[in-house]
Structure 1
Amino acid sequence: MAVISAFERRKLEKLLGMGSGYVLDFSDRTYADFFIDYRIDIDAAQYRSGGDSKAKRMRAFWDIAPNHTVGKVLDGLITYGVQIDRLGDSSPQLTDDCRKIAMRLLSDQSVADLDALTAIADDRDFEVVAEHVREAIEKNQPEGGLDRLHTFVNKFIRVTCEPHGISISREKPLHSVFGEYVKALRERGHLESAMTDRILKSSISVLEAFNDVRNNKSLAHDNPILNYDESLLIFNHVASSIRFIKSLEAGIKANSLAQKNDLPPWDETIPF
């Protein structure tokens, strides 16, 4: 449920012109199309519990969806309403207040580095699984996305390791591939601190344990799935690690190009 006060709801309803059951200039078809862009079926029964009008379905959406998802939709609605000049009240102050509400909700994301979970190769399967992983978090259902997160990590690590000359086969387990990757980083001087080396080494055993979660506590099979809080912890750990590896690899690539072109090396501090 999105955390929106009664006072904030009145502001949003006024801006979106919801007083008579409508929302902006949407027809039922265009309303559904708008929400589909956010991977939400606003025609679903769960959003019709209070009635079928567009305004009632919007209120039900606020009552059901998590903060971050509601913030994204509100930001899109406000932008659209300004573009078509069809806001219920186009007062600059009200528009600004409602944007601030949307931004506050947007800032509440359960996985801080969710945007790092994107495909790094031109591979349709990779892109689809990455989209499904992000969708699980945007719907606040991390426990339902663990199997796809495992598939994503497999694809990501194997694509990342290939340029380092690490042999990859279906028989070699993911944690073994990642162990060779960490060793290559260390031996080639890509890690500046012993602590970073140790953190990455610990991820080898984490990835090995992830196999058990995928096989026995996810929707990959007919299993009782892992609880919400532990699933969210796994998502956050994986997303943070992926973000770091992406940043590290960007620095390695930039330094390699600089050496080829006889340019100063990349010296940007790598965030962790």
Structure 2
Amino acid sequence: MTQTATPIESHPPKIMGRSRRLPFNQRAVFDQIFHSGGGFVLDFSDRTMAEWFDENFGLSIFQERFQMEGSSKGKTLRGFVEAAEPRLVAQILRALWQYRRALNGYAETDPSEEARLEAWLEQFTHELENASSMNLDDALKDFSRDTTLPKLRASIAADLVAEKPDVALDRVHTYCVKRFRDLLASRNQPVDATTPLHAIFGTFGKALRDEGAVSEFALPTLRVQHKLFEGLNQARNKRSFAHDNELLPVSEAQFIIDCVLASLAFIERIEAARERETTGRDDEILF
């Protein structure tokens, strides 16, 4: 009796490359979608392309960092795909697809070919989102029933994905104040509403030390975080939208926020372990 082989479910090959997000062998599909192979992009002129990116995303598309291969519209768009925050790239490519669908004469005449391109783009944007290095979900939590918290987190995430860390700086500070006050309250150590962020963190750091929650190897680094949050406090007061200030340069704001997010993600792992010890659960490994 001959058995029929069960078909193996195959997954489409990954689009993103190891060294480039849009490798050479995938460019033809990308250019077919956005009509960008000859240096053009859909029906845009230089002016209307700049306006579309600015009006819809507050982004200056013709930046030098996006023009590593040239300054044409097509090369600039592909450079943007390579250089910008992956989640932002995914958002914009999906919006460009919707813009393309509204145009006459840019969709494929064969519906099956149009469906193939749409599936390719959906896979590519999904891969881009998964490639993002920002650990927002690990660092920013809905830790209480404070109804402003989800809006605060969403606002921070939107600006960070849009590569506007200078704009997000004051709200990152607000989140940190809320989080460390909550963590101290859970230890029956409430702090005064006027206490600055770095002092709040200093009290929290001492609590971690006294609890033995951090080993002798990580404790010196944790102590340094006091200076990090002092710097965030100063930047918030003097170089953010918290007051009528000149904003911090984007690269410096991003550096501060990257450090803060890494610190918050570590603290959340500590708190998760503490909660497991309190509840007797042990279904997750801290390190």
Q: Normalized against structure 1, the TM-score is what? A: 0.67
Pairing partner for 2:90 from 61, 68, 71? 71
Q: Percent identity?
A: 23
> For residues 224 and 87 of structure 1, do their structure 2 counterparts lie closer, same or farther at Cα, with a shift above 3 Å needed?
farther
Give the aligned partner of residue 37 of structure 1: none
Give the secondary-structure state (helix, strand or coil) at the position aligned to 2:114.
coil
> For residues 180 and 74 of structure 1, do their structure 2 counterparts lie closer, same or farther at Cα, with a shift above 3 Å needed?
same
Pairing partner for 1:194 from 211, 216, 240? 216
> For residues 220 and 8 of structure 1, do their structure 2 counterparts lie closer, same or farther at Cα, with a shift above 3 Å needed?
farther
Give the counterpart letter for 1:246 in structure 2: E
Pairing partner for 1:152 from 175, 193, 203? 175
> For residues 199 and 87 of structure 1, do their structure 2 counterparts lie closer, same or farther at Cα, with a shift above 3 Å needed?
farther
Tell me how far apart the structure 1 counterparts of residues 203 and 85 of structure 2 sit (CA, whole Å). Answer: 40
Structure 2 contact 165–254 (Cα < 8 Å) conserved: yes
> For residues 223 and 62 of structure 1, do their structure 2 counterparts lie closer, same or farther at Cα, with a shift above 3 Å needed?
farther
For the aligned residues, what is the CA RMSD? Answer: 3.9
1:154-193 equivalences in 2 (<5 Å): 154-191=177-214, 193=215
1:4-153 equivalences in 2 (<5 Å): 8=26, 10-12=28-30, 14=32, 42=56, 66-68=84-86, 69-72=88-91, 74=93, 88-91=113-116, 97-99=120-122, 101-107=124-130, 109=132, 112-115=134-137, 116-153=139-176
1:224-239 equivalences in 2 (<5 Å): 224-239=246-261
Give the counterpart letter for 1:155 in structure 2: K
Give the counterpart letter for 1:200 in structure 2: L
Tell me how far apart the structure 2 counterparts of residues 146 and 172 of structure 1 sit (CA, whole Å). Answer: 19
Structure 1 contact 16–88 (Cα < 8 Å) conserved: no
Structure 1 contact 16–89 (Cα < 8 Å) conserved: no
> For residues 254 and 223 of structure 1, do their structure 2 counterparts lie closer, same or farther at Cα, with a shift above 3 Å needed?
same
Give the counterpart letter for 1:11 in structure 2: V
Give the counterpart letter for 1:89 in structure 2: E
Tell me how far apart the structure 2 counterparts of residues 128 and 95 of structure 1 sit (CA, whole Å). Answer: 32
Structure 1 contact 129–148 (Cα < 8 Å) conserved: yes
Deviations 1:21-55 (A, max 9, x none): 79xxxxxxxxxxxxxxxxx97499989xxxxxxxx
Structure 2 contact 177–200 (Cα < 8 Å) conserved: no
CA displacement at 1:209 relative to structure 2: 2.2
CA displacement at 1:145 relative to structure 2: 1.0
Give the counterpart letter for 2:261 in structure 1: A
Structure 1 contact 71–105 (Cα < 8 Å) conserved: yes
Considering Cα pairs closer than 8 Å and 6+ residues apart, tell me whether 1 or 2 has the greater RCO: 1
Tell me how far apart the structure 1 counterparts of residues 58 and 240 of structure 2 sit (CA, whole Å). Answer: 25
CA displacement at 1:73 relative to structure 2: 5.7
Give the counterpart letter for 1:254 in structure 2: R
Give the secondary-structure state (helix, strand or coil) at the position aligned to 2:218.
helix
Structure 1 contact 75–103 (Cα < 8 Å) conserved: no
Tell me how far apart the structure 1 counterparts of residues 112 and 30 of structure 2 sit (CA, whole Å). Answer: 10
Give the secondary-structure state (helix, strand or coil) at the position aligned to 1:213.
helix
Unaligned runs of 5+ in 1: 23-39, 48-58, 259-264
| Matched length | 227
Give the counterpart letter for 1:210 in structure 2: L
Structure 1 contact 15–90 (Cα < 8 Å) conserved: no
Give the aligned partner of residue 286 of structure 2: 270
> For residues 239 and 42 of structure 1, do their structure 2 counterparts lie closer, same or farther at Cα, with a shift above 3 Å needed?
same
